[in-house]
Structure 1
Amino acid sequence: MDLLVERADVWAADIQDRPGGLAEVLDTLREAGADLQFIIARRRPEKPATGVVYVTPLQNDREIRAAAQVGFNVTQSLHSVRVMGPDRPGIAAELTQKLAVGEINLRGFSASVIGKQFVAYIAVDSLGDANKAMEILSKV
């Protein structure tokens, strides 16, 4: 199967848990020209009135400067691998099974299908695990 497997730097920022909190930081990135491929936002129950947003990619100095202005930093504790390829039934099960056999513990897994293609973001705990996951998935 022809899969595109690559590392993806994930950027994170705290956001205010209120209407428009997410829109404000995303608008700043849009104004800087960011063409985001992946966004996850959620509340932080351990920190009332606060949420967190994760995005990828930020690709140039202008985007990174704008991101820094609204509190984004590249995450040091979350390492991500992006996998893209032709969709078919069971592809997520196959990918996660290969990683399990390779003893890769997943921190997170998100996937979506658009048309006939799927994209998955696989979060792991270390750069070593990300590199190993890429090696495993490159052979699928």
Structure 2
Amino acid sequence: MDLIVEQAEVWAATIEDKPGGLAGVLTVLHQAGADLQSVISRRDPEELGKAVVFVTPLQSDREIAAAAQVGFNVTQTLRSVRLIGPNHPGIVAELTQKLAEAGINLRGFSASVIGPQSIAYVAVDSLQDAKKTAAVLEQV
């Protein structure tokens, strides 16, 4: 399969769980020039009134400085591998089966399809797991 496999640095922030909470931080990143490829946000189940947002990538010093101003930090406990390639029925089952066979425990997995292309993010717990994940998926 023709997959582009690369590690992706993930940034996370706690935001207010209210209308405009997410828009506020994303606007700051946009104004700093960020061209985000992935945004995932959800309520924090442990802290009422709070939500968490994960973004990738942040690349320039200007983007990183803006992100820090609104509470983003690069995650140290979550590592991610990005996959970009052609879509076909069963691709997610195939990829996750290969990871299971390699003994890789997934912290999270998200995937989307746009036309003939698919993109997925595999979240794991350590840099070592991210390297192993990338190695397994490069063989698919």
Q: With structure 1 as the length reference, what TM-score do the two structures score? A: 0.99
How many percent of aligned residue pairs carry the same amino acid?
68
Q: Does 1:23 align with 2:31?
A: no
Paired residues for 1:1-140 under 5 Å? 1-140=1-140
Task: Tell me, in whole angstroms, the C-alpha distance in 1 between the residues paired with 2:94 and 2:84.
Answer: 14
SS at match of 2:23: helix
Task: Tell me, in whole angstroms, the C-alpha distance in 1 between the residues paired with 2:111 and 2:128.
Answer: 22
SS at match of 2:71: coil
Q: With structure 2 as the length reference, what TM-score do the two structures score? A: 0.99
Q: CA RMSD of the aligned region, Å?
A: 0.4
Give the gaps of 5 or more residues in structure 2.
none
Cα displacement string for residues 26-57 of structure 1 (whole angstroms, at most 9, x for unaligned residues): 00000001000000000012111100000000
The total of aligned residue pairs comes to: 140
| Structure 1 consecutive aligned stretches of length 4 or more whose deviation exceeds 6 Å | none
Give the gaps of 5 or more residues in structure 1.
none
Task: Tell me, in whole angstroms, the C-alpha distance in 1 between the residues paired with 2:126 and 2:44.
Answer: 23
